[in-house]
Amino acid sequence: EDQVTQSPEALRLQEGESSSLNCSYTVSGLRGLFWYRQDPGKGPEFLFTLYSAGEEKEKERLKATLTKKESFLHITAPKPEDSATYLCAVFNQAGTALIFGKGTTLSVSS
Amino acid sequence: SQTIHQWPATLVQPVGSPLSLECTVEGTSNPNLYWYRQAAGRGLQLLFYSVGIGQISSEVPQNLSASRPQDRQFILSSKKLLLSDSGFYLCAWSYGGANTGELFFGEGSRLTVL
């Protein structure tokens, strides 16, 4: 069964304290790995797509990387406005829908 | 630009009552449409998706149903709600054709079943 596991469940950082979030997946024939950001009470917002091992994408203080079994979302010098839940997702076997992980809730304090 | 509207934003319903959540997309044609549910402590769970009018695929057997009466309208319904139906319901769309994985979500509808 296709699965997406994210860790840690929650992460508290001080402003400027860099860290990484992990997303591991078990799906045969990866058709892409996707990162989303979700603010409390809102719908998720698309961040990145990664297609192949070794690929990297960057957006402001966020950088996503992909290996054959997992993806990392690196947050460099985070700010309080980076506080959110970060979700990763992969396509199901049929390629018809995204399977999401439970997310990592990031809190950045000043 | 494209927008997605979802309503109602919140609702509290008794067990056994019916449900209707509505979602509309503007600014695009023939989108793929999705209903997801996010329950406490669980990830986003895909409930239904649609690639066209009247075409509905169900991912999880349950007492919910979906309909797509118009190209950009997606409705989630139930005849009799269960306690386990409580959650945050999200409608999303993607560009028609092959699913690129980039979904655009609505603001969500928070349902509490008592």
DSSP A71-110: EEEEE-S--GGG-EEEEEEEE-TTSSSEEE---EEEEEE-
Residues from chain B that touch A89, judged by Cβ atoms under 8 A, are: 44, 101
- Number of Cβ within 10 Å of residue A23's Cβ equals 25
User: Residue A2 has what pLDDT?
Assistant: 56
pLDDT at B89 over 60: yes
Cross-chain Cβ contact A87/B43 below 8 Å: yes
pLDDT for B90 beyond 90? yes
How many CA atoms within 13 Å lie on the side-chain side of A81?
Answer: 3
pLDDT digits (tens, 9 = 90+) for B9-44: 999 999 999 999 999 999 999 999 999 999 887 889
**Which of A27, A30, A88, A98 to substitute to test the interface with B, most B CBs within 10 Å?**
A98
For B:14-43, CB contacts with A below 8 A are 34, 36, 41-43
Distance CA B96, CA B75 (A): 18
Please list every residue in chain A whose beta carbon sits closer than 8 Å to the beta carbon of residue B108: 41-43
